Amino acid sequence: MPNYCEMFKLDSLDHAYHDAEWGWPVHDDRQMFEHLSMEVMQCGLSWITCLKRRDVFRQCFDNFNIERVAAYGDDDVARIMSTPGMIRAERKIRAIINNARIAAHMPSLCEHLWSFSNGNVIVYDGHPEGNIPVQNGLSQRVAKSLRQLGMTFVGPVNIYAHLQACGIVNDHSRSCPLFQKIIGTFPVVYLPADDER
């Protein structure tokens, strides 16, 4: 099977993101919100397009401070839309602001998301060998819970990518050094494939 992590070596920025962040468990609400917002911005675009604009996103959204973004209004939307280098997608921008408002009223965004794995990093059968879905039962359940809370742009495909990025699902290839590093550092549960698509 192909080495799934090889996809991150096509661009030096992607490679650096893989080595420093992707799949490393996140337990900080600001960072979790940033990851989730990056997935919102990425919808329909390549990941590298968003990585190259990450500093612009951070500038536009107060470094993804949940409380500050939650207080944004129409003037902030206009400011963000006019920022050089910003992806001018008003629906996505408003989705991030809306999602911040929802997150601001949650006890903890991290606690909510990690509750679906009981605080464990999940390793699914077949994933370390490269059998990676675009969504699964877990991402469907998480997406449903976030939509019920009022969040938008949180479909099961976006959420599966988010679960990978924030380390709830360890989808590093078995041959990737980070696969072993993560399972040797954090509590792990091994599960069978879950309604994968």
Is 196 annotated in the active site? no
Task: Determine contact, residues 95/153, Cβ cutoff 8 Å.
Answer: yes
Dist. CA 64–CA 56, nearest whole Å: 11
Dist. CA 179–CA 62, nearest whole Å: 32
Is 72 annotated in the active site? no
Is 17 annotated in the active site? yes
The candidate with the shortest Cα–Cα distance to 106, out of 66, 64, 79, is 66
Instruction: Give the pair of three-digit tokens for residue 14.
Output: 């992607």
DSSP states of 108-138: -HHHHHHGGGTTPEEEETTGGGT---S--HH
The catalytically annotated residue of 47, 114, 124, 160 is 47
- Residue 41: HSE in the Cβ half-sphere, 13 Å Cα cutoff: 28
Residue 7 DSSP symbol: G
The catalytically annotated residue of 24, 34, 39, 72 is 39
Catalytic residues: 17, 39, 47
